[in-house]
Chain A
């Protein structure tokens, strides 16, 4: 039973460049979540999908951020025209949903550094 995987684990980019991260959820999970975490803070919710439908987006998610889950399996998070304030750990989580199981299981994260 493999857990949530994320790629790449680390990304260094220059300000103004576009970056894309990938998340592969636990295979039987139909819900997938993206969070962002900065040093000394708890994770902040960005968006989530049920299957391929994007059901909720945070007000934190500016127009430069876009997420997709085209076939209801893996998901990508793209940041366009990166800014130094985008430097953070980007975490992906998945859950099976349903009435008895709301736990979200997190991947190892992608650490983004914008120079």
Chain B
């Protein structure tokens, strides 16, 4: 069964303290791995898609990487406005549906 596990469940960082979020997955034929950001009471906001092991993508203070079993979202020198829940999802070749993890709740304190 296709599955996504995210860790940690919650992360508290001081402003400027870099860290990484983990997304482990099992999927029968990975088409893509997706990262989203979700603010309370809002829909997920698309961040990145990664398609193959070794691929990396960056956007401002965020960098996503992919291996054959997991993905990392690296946050460099975070700011309070980076506080949100970060969701990871996978899509298999034989379907369009996304399978999400439960997310990592990130809080960045000034």
Q: How close is A6's CB to chain B, nearest CB, in angstroms?
A: 8
CB within 8 A of A109: which of B34, B43, B89, B103? B43
CB within 8 A of A102: which of B4, B32, B42? B32
Q: Specify which chain A residues have a CB less than 8 angstroms from the CB of B103 in the assembled complex.
A: 42
A40 at interface (Cβ–Cβ under 8 A)? yes
Known: A102-B32, A102-B49. A33 touches B97 (CB 8 A): yes
Interface size class on chain B is 20 to 34
A113 at interface (Cβ–Cβ under 8 A)? no
Q: How close is B108's CB to chain A, nearest CB, in angstroms?
A: 20
Interface size class on chain A is 20 to 34
Q: Specify which chain B residues have a CB less than 8 angstroms from the CB of A44 in the assembled complex.
A: 100
Q: Specify which chain B residues have a CB less than 8 angstroms from the CB of A45 in the assembled complex.
A: 97-99
CB within 8 A of A43: which of B31, B32, B96, B98? B98
A25 at interface (Cβ–Cβ under 8 A)? no
Q: How close is A68's CB to chain B, nearest CB, in angstroms?
A: 18
The answer to whether A91 touches B96, judged by C-beta atoms less than 8 angstroms apart, is no
Within B52-93, the residues touching A (CB, 8 Å) are 87, 89, 91
Name the residue on A nearest B99 (C-beta).
A45
Q: How close is B69's CB to chain A, nearest CB, in angstroms?
A: 19
Residue of A4, A58, A105, A111 contacting most chain B CB atoms (<10 Å) = A105
Residue of B31, B97, B99, B100 contacting most chain A CB atoms (<10 Å) = B97
Q: Specify which chain B residues have a CB less than 8 angstroms from the CB of A103 in the assembled complex.
A: 34, 46, 49
Known: A33-B96, A33-B97, A48-B97. A40 touches B45 (CB 8 A): no
The answer to whether B95 touches A56, judged by C-beta atoms less than 8 angstroms apart, is yes
